Structure 1
Amino acid sequence: MLKEFAELSTPLVADACVRHGIPLRIAPAGIGAVVPGHRVAGRVLPARHYGSVDVFLEAFGRAEPGDVLVIDNGGRTDEACVGDLAVLEAEAAGVAGLVVWGLHRDTPELVEIGLPVFSYGAYPPGPVRLDEQEPEALASARFGPHLVSGDDLAFGDDDGVVFLAATHAEAVLATAHEIRRTEREQAHRIRSGDTLRSQTSFDDYLARRAADPSYTFRRHLRRIGGAIEE
């Protein structure tokens, strides 16, 4: 999956979802890579954290190569829930990366390990609590307002993390590639002196909108084959 995502970005995947009418499922703003530039893509391996690493070890027993461990720690900012040992074990299990709704620690060690980890940031203390584990602990994970499971894929880069149902992946990624090609061509033309206003026939758009207030810029772009907002 990471190979499929190699030339794409989370903004392109998000725009492709919009074009297909698929509701966006985006990790909350602030979730980012421990090491800038790290990217991740793969099937969601969900785990809900209750204060102990045992749930991660159990999840790793179910992992398939290339899975992305998605950790639900409720977005907590009073504890870090993963550190170097959990990440090393993830690597040993063939996991492609971790996406944490919460915080991490052992930052220098994580940088050295090199496995992509996405979180809200670093915080020194680990958990001092131990809550009761729910039956769904390894079946699904909450991430902000979203619920994800093994039926979903996770894509992460410097712009954040996007979740996508695996059943939509082929169509969405194909459209994302189309949008990328269009946008790269538009960028090349801007650098060559052909302004975006000219490329998008913006004066024509303004005239059409004046005659028909319901005529949106997105509708106009679709009519002329441009790509900016989606």
Structure 2
Amino acid sequence: MDQQDLRRRFGTLTTAHLADACIRAQLPVRCGPALLRAVVPGGRLIGRASPARHAGSVDVFLEAFERAEPGDVLVVDNGGRLDEACVGDLVVLEAQAAGLAGIVIWGLHRDTADMRAIGLPVFSLGAIPTGPLRLDPRPHDAMDSATVGDWTVSRDDLVLGDDDGVLFVPAARAADLFRLAEKIRDTERRQADRIRAGDSLRGQVRFDSYLARRRETPSLTFREHLRAVGGAIEE
């Protein structure tokens, strides 16, 4: 899928839908840590990862912008440090001017008020006034990959972000994952409409039948039952 199609289809989905799709597709669910949140609530982004490992200077970001394509997402690896901000308003402005879709920071930012005024989606662990007070040797492969929490991200990955957080998925599987996510979304919407109309969720998923079957087969899981009856709650 191209960037325009990705943005259009993600506009009707959430990262939760895509995370459930990963489970359904038997792929690792590569979520950013829970503290990685949008600087401006309601921010959403999707695009190919443009990784950059920070070593104390913004030059790595500027070089990443030279290589990036419109619609990419800068993924900044600052080791999850909480003692310095590595991205400020000028980097965000430059990312916006370069046509990037947003920034994800495994670390902190600063210039929060200015970032909010700029409007480019930025996700980070939080804010602190000070920038880096160090300048470490830059790895030779600083733009090949970035680590965010437990996961390593490369240009082979898509980055998705919304109010639930950040998710990384393999770009090569995007079409399959979006189809699965859309099916999950549609099933959940039908279930929600039926609950509002008075048809309980327990009734929809035949929960009494599940309890009876589990008494006969203790190893039966609720997910197996849901798949048999066509429900969507857990994935």
Superposition TM-score, scaled by structure 1 size: 0.99
Superposition deviation, residue 145 in structure 1: 1.2
* Alignment match, 2:9: 4
Determine the C-alpha separation between the residues in 1 that align with 2:199 and 2:187.
14
Task: Provide, for residues 22-69 of structure 1, a one-character-per-residue CA deviation record: whole Å limited to 9, x for no partner.
Answer: 011110111010000010000000000000000000000011010000
CA distance in 1, matches of 2:223, 2:212: 15
Q: How does 1:13-162 map to 2 (within 5 A)?
A: 13-162=18-167
Amino acid at match of 1:210: R
The answer to whether 1:189 aligns with 2:163 is no
Please give the alpha-carbon distance, in whole angstroms, between the structure 1 residues aligned to 2:8 and 2:131.
34
**Alignment partners' CA distance in 2, 1:27 and 1:194:** 36
1:146 to partner: Cα distance: 0.7
1:217 aligned partner:
222
**Deviation string, structure 1 residues 134-190 (Cα, Å, up to 9, x no partner):** 111011001111111000000000000000011111101110000000001100100
- What is the alpha-carbon root mean square deviation over aligned residues? 0.6
Q: Which residue number in structure 2 is paired with residue 165 of structure 1?
A: 170
Shift of 1:2: 2.0
Mapped to 2, the partners of 1:176 and 1:63 lie a distance apart of 27
Which amino acid is the alignment partner of residue 65 of structure 1? P
SS of 2:30 mapped into structure 1: coil
Choose which of 198, 205, 215 in structure 1 pairs with 2:210.
205
Measure the CA separation in 2 of the matches of 1:51 and 1:114. 25
Unaligned regions of 5+ residues in structure 1, if any? none
The separation in 1 between residues aligned to 2:151 and 2:125, in whole angstroms, is: 16
Q: Aligned partners of 1:7, 1:136: CA distance in 2, in Å?
A: 36
Whole-angstrom CA distance in 2 between matches of 1:134 and 1:46: 13
Q: Tell me how far apart the structure 2 counterparts of residues 183 and 98 of structure 1 sit (CA, whole Å).
A: 30
Cα offset for 1:110? 0.3
Name the amino acid aligned to 2:160: F
For residues 73 and 100 of structure 2, the distance between their equivalents in structure 1, rounded to whole angstroms, comes to: 6
Structure 1 residue 4 displacement after superposition: 2.2
Q: Secondary structure at the match of 1:77?
A: coil
Distance in 1, matches of 2:71 and 2:219, equals: 45
Shift of 1:208: 0.5
AA aligned to 1:115 is L
What percentage of aligned pairs have identical amino acids?
Answer: 62
Matched residue of 2:67: which SS? coil
Q: Counterpart in 1 of 2:234?
A: 229
Letter in 2 for 1:199: Q
Aligned partner of 1:218: which letter?
Answer: R
Structure 2: how far apart are the matches of 1:73 and 1:4?
31
